[in-house]
Amino acid sequence: MERRWVELLFKRGGIMLVTKQAVFKRFWYPVIPTAELSGEPKPFVLLDQPIALWLDSEGKPAAVEDRCCHRTAKLSLGKVVSGNISCAYHGWTFNSSGTCVSVPQQPNGSISGNYKVKSYQACDRYGYVWVCLGEPIAEIPNITEAADPNYRQIHEFYEPWNCAGLRVMENELDMAHPTFVHTATFGSEEHLTPDVMEFTETEWELHYRSVLGVANPAEQQQNLNIEQAETVRTIDGIWFLPFTVKLRIAYPNGLVHIIVNTMTPIDDSTSQMVQFCLRNDTESEAKTSDIIAFDRAVTLEDKRILETTDWDVPLDIAQEQHMLTDKPGIIIRRKIAALLKAHGEVEQTKVS
């Protein structure tokens, strides 16, 4: 049989490959902690696009394609000179708009307007450089507590994960997995499902309130200032299209622990895990290092599982099986499918 007919017979619809859907280039993503740009330029790959990052003379982040227009060397190998990026190969220097402002070999010659590289919008928020590769269609997720003096911010994780961002987004809102995945941290065998599940959708967000009984191992009792082996979490989660989740976890004693996690898409199968948290307690009540250590154990429990999941995630819900607690993941798939449709984009087709 001709290959085309074989493909038609066995094709399945609706998978998501992030680099194939142009609309994902129109969102902001955190690409690097701003503090890491205090010296030399740094590289990052966002949606398959290599970019070079640095801070200009005013300390504002700048992002350009990581490919010099002279002989294609990586600009991120260069250095920052007077707030511009200078190529390591022949020293051509580009400003944050991507315009070449210096060719050292021709100090008195005019510089051709063709000597330029593509630049991208970049800004500093929550201690990270956020970049948008296209014309933004949504704001950077608004984390109100980041500006609230009652909260302290703790930078937690910045590392690549071998999985699709969507898998992590739905995992954060999946209240049925802690019993099985977080066995060494907070999962409770007594609470297989949440007591409350309430959903509200906006154009760019899904709000999810749930209440879940959890276990408190000794180190977590210290972190939470709760002397009980079990407690209740009231979770107000917000998923921000496409790959940011904020989980506001409130405990009965008034403590609030907010996790903000973006899975910045590197390519179809890899995401940069960027996570910070916000707490309304003080260092003397819970040490930063202890909070990070506990959250580290939790995230490694998730990572172990999530890196085994398919990264070509089906948006068509008929392709995986579901249960009641999967509602957030189903809404996420539906909203992403609607986003693609609204932008005239066709989902990818999986051929099996």
List of residues contacting Fe ion (CB under 5 A): 302
Judged by CB under 6 A, the stretch of 83-91, 129-137, 241-249, 331-339 that binds ligand FES is 83-91
The correct pick among 54, 92, 151, 240 for binding ligand FES (CB under 6 A) is 92
- Rounded to an integer, what distance in angstroms lies between the CA atom of residue 229 and that of residue 246? 26
Contact 143, 261 (CB under 8 A): no
> Binding to ligand FES by residue 90, rule CB under 6 A?
yes
Q: Residues 206-236, buried b or exposed e (16+ Cβ, 10 A)? A: bebebbbbbbbeeebebbbebeeeebebbbb
Report in angstroms how near the CB of residue 307 gets to ligand FES at its nearest.
Answer: 37
Distance in Å, CB of 352 to Fe ion, minimum = 29
H or E stretch covering 338: helix 327-342
- For residue 117 the two structure tokens come to 């590289």
Closest approach of Cβ 180 to Fe ion, in Å?
10
Tokens of 200: 């509200």
- Tokens representing residue 21 in the block: 């859907």
Cα–Cα distances in angstroms (integers) from residue 334 to residues 13, 114, 200, 239, in the given order: 14, 43, 14, 13
Size of the site for ligand FES (CB under 6 A): 8
Query: Interface with ligand FES by CB under 6 A: which range of 53-61, 64-72, 215-223, 334-342?
Result: 64-72
Nearer to ligand FES by C-beta: 70 or 303? 70
Comparison of 300 and 351: residue with beta carbon closer to Fe ion: 300
Q: Which residue is nearest to Fe ion (CB)?
A: 302
Smallest distance, ligand FES to C-beta of residue 40, A? 16
Pure H helices in 37-121: none
Can residue 339 be called a binding residue for ligand FES (CB under 6 A)?
A: no
For ligand FES, the closer of residues 72 and 150 by Cβ is 72
- Give the one entry of Fe ion, ligand FES, none that residue 205 binds, where binding means its C-beta sits below a cut-off of 5 to 8 angstroms depending on kind: none
Among residues 17, 45, 73, 250, which is the contact residue for ligand FES, using CB under 6 A? 73
Burial class (CB in 10 A: 0-12, 13-18, 19+), 107: exposed
Of the candidates 20, 26, 42, 70, which one interacts with ligand FES according to CB under 6 A? 70
For residue 242, whether the previous peptide bond is cis, meaning omega lies within 30 degrees of 0, is yes
| 3-state percent helix, strand, coil for the chain, nearest multiple of 5 | 25, 35, 40
The nearer residue to ligand FES, 92 or 243, going by C-beta atoms, is 92
Q: Cβ contacts of residue 108 below 8 Å, gap of 6+?
A: none
CB of 143 to Fe ion, least distance (A): 20
Instruction: Tell whether residue 251 is a contact of ligand FES (CB under 6 A).
Output: no
CB of 70 to ligand FES, least distance (A): 3
Minimum distance between the CB of residue 71 and ligand FES, rounded to whole angstroms? 4
> Rounded distance, CA 297 to CA 283, Å?
20
Segment near ligand FES (CB under 6 A), from 85-93, 180-188, 268-276, 338-346?
85-93
Are 275 and 302 spatial neighbours (Cβ–Cβ below 8 Å)?
A: no
Residue 71 binding partner per list Fe ion, ligand FES, none, with a CB distance cut-off of 5 to 8 Å that depends on partner kind: ligand FES
Q: Which amino acid is at 150?
A: N
Q: Are 64 and 52 spatial neighbours (Cβ–Cβ below 8 Å)?
A: yes
Q: Does 71 bind ligand FES (CB under 6 A)?
A: yes
Q: Measured from the CB atom, is 156 or 302 closer to Fe ion?
A: 302
Of 295 and 302, nearer to Fe ion (C-beta) is 302
Work out whether 87 is an interface residue with ligand FES (CB under 6 A): yes
At its nearest, how many Å lie between ligand FES and the CB of residue 98? Answer: 13
Asked if 91 and 115 count as a contact pair (C-beta separation under 8 A), the reply is no
* Bridge partners (DSSP) listed for residue 339: none
The label of the residue with tokens 């998730």 reads: 302
Chain residues in the site for ligand FES (CB under 6 A) = 68, 70-71, 73, 87, 89-90, 92
